[in-house]
């Protein structure tokens, strides 16, 4: 049976852990608000860009662009995976990575060994490299910096490899932020870009284009790729914070429960010790009497 | 005809400006263009440069980099990757940035892969300084 001193030590250590988890929860909650705002901000840009693209596409005759090319024979697949740099965020990374593994296993049938991965976030890089996946590029500690610039760097690399036929399909994997308690691992096809949907409600006023329509579209399409990657980054950040908040909240509650249980055990042990001592004294007194 | 139009400047980091304007000058890739209310619908690519708009006699300056301007009859939407208001630009920092970019540019030749990036950051820094000076000078 544990001694009183041991139990007291244990209680103190659980209490200090609880302080840490509580602090982490608060930090995550505060930063989550900002991350959510960032998503909204970026969404405004993405939506307007989409609008410009579709209004332009509606007026253009030939919709050919290397980024729109849906190749008949797809030989290799590139996956861009977003995980977090830090742990202590529940199943945020493990749930996503498990799905990535399942996805790769499923796609092996079609692509064989031609599946390569670009991984963002230390957790994912470590996990996937250890399991001998073909990680061709990785980035860590990028979430604090200017995210659009990062999205652009990643985007340029991906566009290069797509245009040079190093890959025929690009899939982005990230945790989509649904709410603070719900994040969903999401797979979306980044390239080839989805055929542009023309918006029939768009009024067809004749625009002046500078320079010409085709050049403009060529400039716009890569931006669309960057914007989508940017969005995945922001979603991933918000999801990570949400997951951490929930995980730390649970940890704090568990710690409280544990302290309660340990306190009960402590009191019982103390009582038992007192009873034992009393018995000994009484026993001793009885012995002297005789 | 209305004497103002609605102006919105949007970047991936958020809405920089949303309101009315009487006149807008933007750095399109074929040269500076000025847009007045009632302009014919126009879609143009923008480059690194100085963007300004007038409202009630006051002119605001911004340093912008790559993007678009979409003009319809009553509104102008500017989509740019970065947009900084002149008052938000830190002149000392911008000057330090231009020195850095200049030195980097000297060490590279046109064949280097980074030459273009270095040149872009040099141009960006240059524009930021010019824009910042407009406000500080007045």
- For chain A, the structural domain boundaries read 25-247
Asked whether the predicted pLDDT for residue A202 surpasses 60, the reply is no
Q: Indicate the range of A118-132, A244-258, B40-54, B81-95 predicted with least confidence.
A: B81-95
Is CATH 1.20.5.440 correct for B90-137?
yes
pLDDT tens, position by position, B128-137:
888 887 776 5
Report how far residue A179's alpha carbon sits from residue A64's, in angstroms, rounded to the nearest whole number.
Answer: 38
Rounded to the nearest integer, the mean pLDDT of chain A is 88
Q: Which residue has the higher pLDDT, B101 or B33?
A: B33
Is B4's pLDDT higher than 80?
yes
For residue A139, the cross-strand partners are: A120
pLDDT > 90: percent of chain A: 54
Q: Kindly state the tokens that stand for A267.
A: 């009191």
Helix ranges (DSSP H) in chain A: 4-57, 92-111, 122-130, 147-163, 213-289
Mark B96-116 as b/e (b = at least 16 C-beta within 10 Å): ebbeebeebeeeeeeeeeeee
For residue B50, how many other CB atoms are within 10 A of its CB?
18
At residue A200, the pLDDT reads: 58
Q: Do A56 and B43 touch (CB under 8 A)?
A: yes
Which pTM was predicted? 0.82
Distance from CA of A35 to the nearest CA of B (A): 11
> Which CATH code for domain A25-247?
3.40.1380.10
Q: What residues in A contact B42, CB-CB < 8 Å?
A: 207-210
Q: Is A208's CB within 8 Å of B15's CB?
A: no
Residue with tokens 């209310």: B37
Q: Is A90 left (phi over 0), alpha (psi -120 to 50) or beta?
A: left
ipTM exceeds 0.90, yes or no: no
- Residues A148, B13: C-beta atoms closer than 8 Å: yes
Q: What is the DSSP secondary structure assignment for residue A136, as one 8-state letter?
A: E
Contact status, residue A79 vs residue A264, Cβ threshold 8 Å: no
Q: Where do we find the tokens 């840009």?
A: A45
Which of A89, A104, A217, A251 is an active site residue?
A89
pLDDT top residue among A69 and A203: A69
CA–CA dist A158, A79 (Å, integer): 10
Q: B65 vs chain A: nearest CA distance in angstroms?
A: 12
Shortest alpha-carbon distance between residue A45 and chain B (Å) = 5
pLDDT of A27 > 90? The answer is: yes
pLDDT digit string, tens, across residues A211-247 = 788 888 888 888 889 998 999 999 999 999 999 999 9
CATH class of B5-86: mainly beta
CB–CB contacts below 8 A, A to B: 67
Its sign, for the CA torsion B10, B16, B18, B21, is negative
pLDDT tens digits, A142-192:
888 778 888 988 999 999 999 888 889 999 999 999 888 889 999 988 888
- Give the lowest-confidence range in A204-208, B8-12, B80-84: A204-208
In sign, the C-alpha dihedral spanning A235, A240, A243, A248 is: negative
* pLDDT at res. A204: 59
pLDDT category at A205 given cuts 50, 70, 90 is: low
A94-104 per-position pLDDT tens digit:
999 999 999 99
Residues of chain B in contact with residue A207, where contact means CB-CB under 8 angstroms, are 41-43
Give which of B114, B14, B67 is closest to A44, Cα–Cα.
B14
* pLDDT attached to residue A121: 93
Q: For residue range B33-53, what is the model confidence (pLDDT) as tens digits? A: 999 998 888 889 898 989 999
Of the partner residues A42, A52, A55, the one whose CB lies closest to the CB of residue B12:
A42
Cα–Cα distances (Å) from A65 to A43, A108, A168, A216, A217, in that order, read 25, 29, 14, 12, 9
Residues above pLDDT 70, as percent of chain A: 95
Asked whether the predicted pLDDT for residue B93 surpasses 70, the reply is: yes
The predicted structure's pLDDT at residue A125: 94
- Is A89 one of the annotated active-site residues of the chain? yes
> Is it the case that residue B87 has pLDDT exceeding 60?
yes
* Digit-coded pLDDT (tens) for A64-114: 778 877 887 888 899 999 999 988 888 999 999 999 999 999 998 888 888
Domains in chain B: boundaries: 5-86, 90-137
When CB atoms are compared, the residue of B10, B30, B40 closest to A48 is B10
Computed over every residue of chain B, the mean pLDDT equals 85
Where does residue A132 fall: left (phi above 0), alpha (psi -120 to 50 degrees), or beta otherwise?
A: left
Query: Which residues on chain A place their C-beta less than 8 Å from a C-beta of chain B?
Result: 38, 41-42, 44-46, 48-49, 52, 55-56, 147-148, 205-211, 215-216, 219-220, 227, 230
Chain B residues inside the 8 Å CB shell of A220? 68
Model pLDDT, residue B138: 47
């Amino acid at each position: 049976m544990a001694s009183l001193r041991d139990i007291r030590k244990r209680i103190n250590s659980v209490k200090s852990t609880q302080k840490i988890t509580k602090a982490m929860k608060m930090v995550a909650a505060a930063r989550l608000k900002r991350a959510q705002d960032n998503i909204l901000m970026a969404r405004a840009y993405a939506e307007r860009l989409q609008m410009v693209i579709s209004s332009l596409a509606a007026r253009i005759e030939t919709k050919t662009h290397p980024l729109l090319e849906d190749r008949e024979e797809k030989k290799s697949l590139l996956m861009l995976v977003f995980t977090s740099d830090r742990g202590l965020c529940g199943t945020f990374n493990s749930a996503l990575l498990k799905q990535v593994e399942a996805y790769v296993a499923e796609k092996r049938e079609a692509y064989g060994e031609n599946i390569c991965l670009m991984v963002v976030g230390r957790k994912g890089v470590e996990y996937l490299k250890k399991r001998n996946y073909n990680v061709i590029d990785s980035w860590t500690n990028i979430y604090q910096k200017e995210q659009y610039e990062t999205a652009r760097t990643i985007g340029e690399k991906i566009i290069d490899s797509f245009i040079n036929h190093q890959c025929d399909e690009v899939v982005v994997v990230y945790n989509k932020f649904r709410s603070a308690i719900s994040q969903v691992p999401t797979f979306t096809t980044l390239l080839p870009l989805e055929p542009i949907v023309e918006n029939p409600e768009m009024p067809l006023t004749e625009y002046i284009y500078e320079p010409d329509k085709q050049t403009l579209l060529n400039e716009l399409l890569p931006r669309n790729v960057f914007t989508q990657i940017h969005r995945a980054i922001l979603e991933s950040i918000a999801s990570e914070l949400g997951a951490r908040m929930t995980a730390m909240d649970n940890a704090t509650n568990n710690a409280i429960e544990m302290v309660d249980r340990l306190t009960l055990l402590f009191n019982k042990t103390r009582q038992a010790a007192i009873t034992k001592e009393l018995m000994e004294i009484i026993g001793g007194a009885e012995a002297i009497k005789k | 005809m209305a004497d103002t139009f609605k102006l919105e400047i949007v970047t991936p980091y958020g809405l920089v400006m949303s309101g009315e304007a009487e006149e807008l000058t933007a750095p399109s890739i074929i040269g500076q263009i000025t847009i007045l209310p009632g302009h014919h619908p126009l879609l143009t690519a923008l480059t690194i440069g100085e963007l300004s708009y007038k409202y009630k006699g006051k002119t605001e300056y911004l340093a912008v980099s790559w993007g678009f301007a979409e003009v319809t009859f009553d509104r102008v939407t500017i989509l740019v990757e970065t947009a900084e208001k002149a008052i938000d630009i830190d002149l000392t920092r911008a000057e330090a940035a231009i020195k850095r970019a200049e030195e980097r540019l000297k060490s590279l030749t046109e064949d280097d892969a980074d030459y273009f990036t270095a040149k872009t950051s040099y141009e960006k820094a240059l524009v930021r300084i010019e824009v910042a000076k407009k406000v500080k000078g007045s």
